[in-house]
Structure formats: structure tokens, C-alpha cells
């Protein structure tokens, strides 16, 4: 009897190993991870190779130029940038090799900390070069050499921060592996913030009216006071309406909390506005306004830099950039910067900024930044009540505020993340498009512009993988 039971156990184990569900898991998941890893490493190696090919001649030229200086010695302050650059390059190569050799997330700690050390060396390198330049009598913060240091240190810092963020994400994925994905409930914090905003609004209204009352011709019915009443009333009404909607409707936050308790694999997405690509413009608008307000003489160069940031974001919003096009544009811009800086074209950067004469008042910078920020906030608030929740068995489409969402079975739709046609959006902004189309011809396909697209594409794959396993059973 015992031998027969052992034979039955062995037979059941063999059937489980050869089952279609196991085959689908063993075949599909490694292929997905392998393809994703190959694409990532292809991009990383291509960028690293391009940077080496572009920077190496410039570094060699700089070393030869330093050696031509009669005051140069390998123990002088001028030699420190060479040591810093060499050390940074070695650490960068070591970090890449470590991650390439030990590709698993739990081996990413060494590469992550090496990246942080590399970032510190980059800042030290820039500081030492500026300090050495300050010893010269003709030093200027806007000279071509100083601009070269700003640009090179900024580009290197951006690449290092991106590398550290990549390693950090790998570490977090390892920590979350095998754990159930939980969703924090932000509702109490949201209510507290709304009450705080109402209190600040009441205080500002009282302060404005108290200031107006100091005028001898003040009247409670004057146009200024009426404007304060209407403005404060509209804002208070909007905040109270938002609180009421949060209490009545099933928000995206509640759906995420419910799904995290009921399912191992799930995904909730909503549609962002493409104005999210203007986050750099928003981030630069406030500093630009403050600089122009306190230093009016810098208005031309601030206006030129702000316009360049806005033009970059606007171009990314309107056009798609493939990998080849992005590499070509990046290489062309880098070569243009190197040639113009070392060719002495940017010796008088203020002169060129004044010649172009792009400047504006602080109010314009703040107005444009607030306009983009308002558009982004509206899309986020709308996404609290209009969203799609995907589970292994069904999809819930919430398109109205006062009613429950429409439920569609898994066999009636398909979903996928579009390929990274726009490399800048995919890798720099981490946004992309998720499309859902229905087997019934009467329904139009749905498209969502999603943030955190790389992480959510993996979650979508996990949901569909569970569906395929259940279908195989």
C-alpha cells in the first residue's frame, strides 16, 4: 500500500511538472524578463559607448592642453580633475560590470553605492575645477570654461542619478518579491489637507479684508471686497465639493485598497494629460521668477534658459523620438556644445542672451508654471473617479462618479503596453501608453497615458500571466 501511494505521488508530481499551466509560467516569464533585460542593456551599453567615443577625445585634448601649461605638474591643483575623471570612469565601469555579472536585484547594492560615490566625485570634480579657475585673474562665472564645467558636471550627474535610480528600483523589487502588494489609504491625509487649505483660505480672506479696511474709502460693497468674496467662495465650494465626492464615490484609492486585499496581481490605471511632460518647465518657473524678481540684470539669460526648457518639453510632447533619432540628436548637441565652448563662441554668453533678448516678467513665469500644474492636477483629480481596474478574471471600467463601474470578463478584451516608440518618454519620463481593445466591434479601444509605465507594464504582464495559468487549468 505504501509503495502504491508513493507511486501515485510521483505520478501526480510528474503530471504537475508537465502541465500546460507550468509550461506557460516557465516559458513566458523568463522570455519576458530576458527580452526586457536585453533591451535595457542594449540601451545602456550603446549610451556608454557613445559617451566614451565622444568624451575620450575631449579628455585627451584637455590633458595635452594642461601639460602644455608651464605651471602644470602632476601634483598641482590642475591635475586633480584628471585624477577625479579617471577615478569616476573606473568606478562607473566597475558598477556596470558588477550589475552585468550579478544581474539579480539583491546584488545591486554594490552598484548602487558605487553610483552614489561616483555622484560625490562628480560634484567634487566640478568644485575643484571651479576653485582652480578662481585663481586666475580673468575668471568669470560665465566664461566658456566655467560653462563647460557646468554642462559636463550636469550631464554626468544626470546619468549617475538615473543609474542610481535604476539600481534602487531593482533593490525595491527584490524587497517586494514574495510579498503582497499593499496600498496605503491616503483619504485621512487628504481630508486633513483639505481642512488645512480651508483654514488658510479663511485666514487669507480675513487678512485681505483687514488690509482693505485701513483705506478711508473702504466699503463692504466695493469691487475689491466683492472680488475677495467671490474668489474665496468659489475656492471653498470647490474644496467642499471635492470632499463630498471623496465620501460618496468609489475612488481609485478605495479600489486599489480593495484589490490589494483580494488579489495577488492587479493593476489600476487612469489617463494623465500629456502636460505631465512639462514638469521640468514647472520646476524651473518658480526659480526663474525669483531670480528675475531679485536680480533683474539676469533676466535675459534666465529667459533664454527657461525658453530652452519649455521648447524641449513642447518638442517631446508633440513628436516621438526613436532610439536612433535620440542618439543622433544627443550626439549632435554634445558636439555642438563642445565645439562652441572650446572654440570660444560662448565667451560672452550674456552678450548672446541679450542679442536673442528672450525675457519676461516674474508673473509670466509663475502663470505658465501654474497653468501647467493646474492641468496636471485636474487630470489627477479626474483620475480619482475615472479609471480602469484590471484583475486576472475581469476588468472594471469606472467612467462615472455616482454609479458603480462596468464589469467586463477577461475573455472579452485584451490589453498591452505599447512598445517604447518614444525613447525619451519611456526612459527619461517613465511614461507611456496602455491600450485596451475589445473583441466586440461596437466598442472603441481605450488608451491611457500612464506614469510609471515600466513598473506597470510588469504588473500587467503578471495579471495576464495569472489569467493564462487559470485558463490552462
**292 in any annotated domain:** no
Nearest CA-CA partner of 262 in 148, 180, 379: 180
pLDDT of residue 376: 92
The predicted model gives 45-64 an average pLDDT of 60
**Domain edge (last residue) among 179, 204, 236:** 179
In terms of domains, do 172 and 46 share one?
Answer: yes
The residue ranking higher by pLDDT, 315 or 2, is: 315
**Residue 39 has what pLDDT?**
55
- Identify whether residues 52 and 188 lie together within a single domain: no
Is residue 106 domain-resident? yes
The mean per-residue pLDDT over the stretch 229-235 comes to: 87
Here the cell at position 455 is 513598473
User: Are 29 and 265 a contacting pair, CB within 8 Å?
Assistant: no
**Quick one: pLDDT band at residue 462, thresholds 50, 70, 90?**
confident
pLDDT winner (highest mean) among 126-140, 168-182, 215-229, 368-382 = 368-382
Residue 273 forms part of a structural domain = no
Mean pLDDT value of segment 54-69: 62
How far apart (Å, rounded) are the C-alpha atoms in residues 190 and 212?
33
More confident call, 23 vs 172: 172
Return the DSSP state at 315.
H
199 and 239 assigned to the same domain: yes
Per-residue pLDDT at 399 exceeds 50: yes
Helix, strand, coil tally for the chain in percent (to 5)? 70, 5, 20
Distances (CA, A) of 72 to 81, 114, 130, 137, 469: 12, 31, 17, 17, 69
Do 149 and 197 reside in the same domain of the chain? no
126 pLDDT higher than 60: yes
Q: Where a domain ends, among 124, 158, 179?
A: 179
Question: Look-up: residue for cell 568606478?
Answer: 91
Q: Check whether residue 172 and residue 43 sit in a common domain.
A: yes
Q: Which region, left, alpha or beta, applies to residue 310 given φ > 0 means left and ψ of -120 to 50 means alpha? A: alpha
Distance CA 345, CA 296 (A): 25
DSSP code string of 372-409: HHHHHHHHHHHHTTSEEEE-SSEEEEE--SSSPPEEEE
Q: At which of 248, 274, 305 does a domain end?
A: 248
Query: Residue 372: its pLDDT value, please?
Result: 93
In this structure, are 124 and 234 located in the same domain?
A: no
pLDDT of residue 16: 43
Helix (H) or strand (E) holding 242: helix 223-248
397 domain-assigned: no
Asked whether the beta carbons of 407 and 395 are under 8 A apart, the reply is: yes
How far apart (Å, rounded) are the C-alpha atoms in residues 263 and 459? 12
In a domain, 158, yes or no: yes
Q: What pLDDT, in 10s, does the model give residues 70-122?
A: 666 655 555 656 666 666 666 566 656 655 555 444 455 666 666 677 777 77
Give me the number of domains the chain comprises. 2
Instruction: Tell me the torsion sign for CA atoms 358, 364, 369, 374.
Output: negative
Same domain, 172 and 219: no
pLDDT greater than 70 at residue 411: yes
pLDDT for residue 339 is more than 70? no
Residue 104: strand, helix, or coil: coil
Q: Does 84 share its domain with 213?
A: no
* In a domain? residue 223: yes
What letter would DSSP give residue 446? E
Closest CA to 460 of 436, 429, 424: 436
pLDDT at residue 21 tops 50? no
pLDDT tens profile 188-212: 778 888 888 888 888 888 888 888 8
Is the confidence at residue 452, as pLDDT, over 80? Answer: yes
CB 392 within 8 A of CB 408: no
Kindly state whether residue 98 falls inside one of the protein's structural domains: yes
Please list, in sequence order, all residues whose beta carbon lies within 8 angstroms of the beta carbon of residue 121, skipping any fewer than 6 positions away: 84, 87, 88, 91
Whether residue 174 has pLDDT greater than 90: no
> Are residues 105 and 54 part of one domain?
yes
Q: Choose among 318, 326, 282: nearest CA to 424.
A: 326
Q: Is 226 in the same domain as 110? A: no
**pLDDT for position 178:** 55
Residue 61, pLDDT above cutoff 90? no
In a domain, 471, yes or no: no
115-119, 201-205, 353-357, 387-391: segment of lowest average pLDDT: 353-357
If asked whether residues 51 and 160 sit together in one domain, one would say yes
Looking at the structure, tell me whether residues 136 and 173 fall in a common domain.
yes
List 417's β-bridge partners, or say none: 434
pLDDT band at 381 (very low <50, low <70, confident <90, very high): confident
The cell numbers describing 206, all together, are 480675513
Distance between CA atoms of 90 and 111, rounded to whole angstroms?
Answer: 12
The parent domain of residue 235 ranges over 181-248
Amino acid at each position: 500500500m505504501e509503495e502504491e501511494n508513493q507511486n501515485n505521488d510521483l505520478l501526480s508530481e510528474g503530471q504537475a511538472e508537465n502541465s500546460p499551466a507550468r509550461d506557460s509560467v516557465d516559458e513566458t516569464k523568463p522570455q519576458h524578463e530576458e527580452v526586457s533585460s536585453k533591451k535595457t542593456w542594449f540601451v545602456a551599453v550603446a549610451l556608454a559607448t557613445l559617451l566614451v567615443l565622444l568624451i575620450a577625445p575631449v579628455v585627451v585634448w584637455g590633458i595635452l592642453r594642461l601639460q602644455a601649461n608651464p605651471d602644470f605638474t602632476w601634483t598641482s591643483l590642475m591635475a586633480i580633475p584628471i585624477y577625479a575623471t579617471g577615478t569616476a570612469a573606473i568606478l562607473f565601469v566597475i558598477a556596470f560590470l558588477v550589475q552585468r555579472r550579478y544581474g539579480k536585484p539583491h546584488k545591486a547594492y554594490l552598484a548602487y553605492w558605487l553610483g552614489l560615490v561616483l555622484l560625490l566625485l562628480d560634484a567634487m570634480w566640478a568644485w575643484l575645477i571651479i576653485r582652480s579657475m578662481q585663481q586666475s585673474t580673468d575668471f568669470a562665472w560665465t566664461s566658456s570654461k566655467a560653462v563647460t564645467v557646468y554642462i559636463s558636471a550636469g550631464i554626468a550627474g544626470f546619468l549617475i542619478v538615473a543609474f542610481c535610480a535604476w539600481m534602487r528600483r531593482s533593490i525595491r523589487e527584490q524587497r517586494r518579491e514574495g510579498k503582497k502588494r499593499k496600498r496605503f489609504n491616503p483619504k485621512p491625509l487628504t481630508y486633513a489637507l483639505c481642512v488645512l487649505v480651508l483654514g488658510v483660505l479663511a485666514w487669507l480672506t480675513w487678512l485681505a479684508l483687514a488690509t482693505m479696511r485701513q483705506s478711508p474709502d473702504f466699503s463692504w460693497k466695493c469691487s475689491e471686497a466683492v472680488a475677495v468674496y467671490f474668489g474665496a467662495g468659489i475656492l471653498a465650494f470647490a474644496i467642499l465639493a471635492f470632499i463630498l465626492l471623496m465620501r460618496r464615490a468609489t475612488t481609485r484609492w478605495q479600489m486599489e485598497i480593495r484589490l490589494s486585499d483580494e488579489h495577488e496581481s492587479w493593476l489600476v490605471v487612469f489617463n494623465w494629460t500629456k502636460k505631465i511632460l512639462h514638469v521640468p518647465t514647472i520646476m524651473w518657473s518658480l526659480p526663474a521668477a525669483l531670480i528675475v524678481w531679485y536680480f533683474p540684470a539676469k533676466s535675459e539669460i534666465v529667459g533664454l534658459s527657461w525658453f530652452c526648457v519649455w521648447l524641449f518639453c513642447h518638442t517631446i510632447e508633440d513628436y516621438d523620438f526613436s532610439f536612433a533619432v535620440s542618439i543622433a540628436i544627443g550626439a549632435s548637441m554634445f558636439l555642438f556644445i563642445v565645439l562652441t565652448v572650446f572654440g570660444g563662441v560662448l565667451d560672452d554668453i550674456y552678450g548672446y542672451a541679450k542679442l536673442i533678448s528672450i525675457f519676461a516678467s516674474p508673473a509670466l513665469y509663475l502663470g505658465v508654471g501654474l497653468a501647467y500644474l493646474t492641468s496636471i492636477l485636474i487630470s489627477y483629480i479626474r483620475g480619482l473617479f475615472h479609471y480602469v481596474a484590471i484583475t486576472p478574471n475581469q476588468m472594471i471600467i469606472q467612467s462615472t462618479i455616482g454609479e458603480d463601474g462596468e464589469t467586463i470578463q477577461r475573455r472579452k478584451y485584451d490589453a498591452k503596453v505599447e512598445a517604447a516608440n518614444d525613447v525619451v518618454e519611456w526612459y527619461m519620463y517613465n511614461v507611456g501608453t496602455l491600450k485596451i481593445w475589445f473583441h466586440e466591434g461596437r466598442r472603441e479601444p481605450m488608451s491611457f497615458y500612464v506614469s510609471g509605465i515600466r513598473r506597470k507594464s510588469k504588473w500587467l504582464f503578471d495579471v495576464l500571466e495569472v489569467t493564462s495559468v487559470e485558463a490552462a487549468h
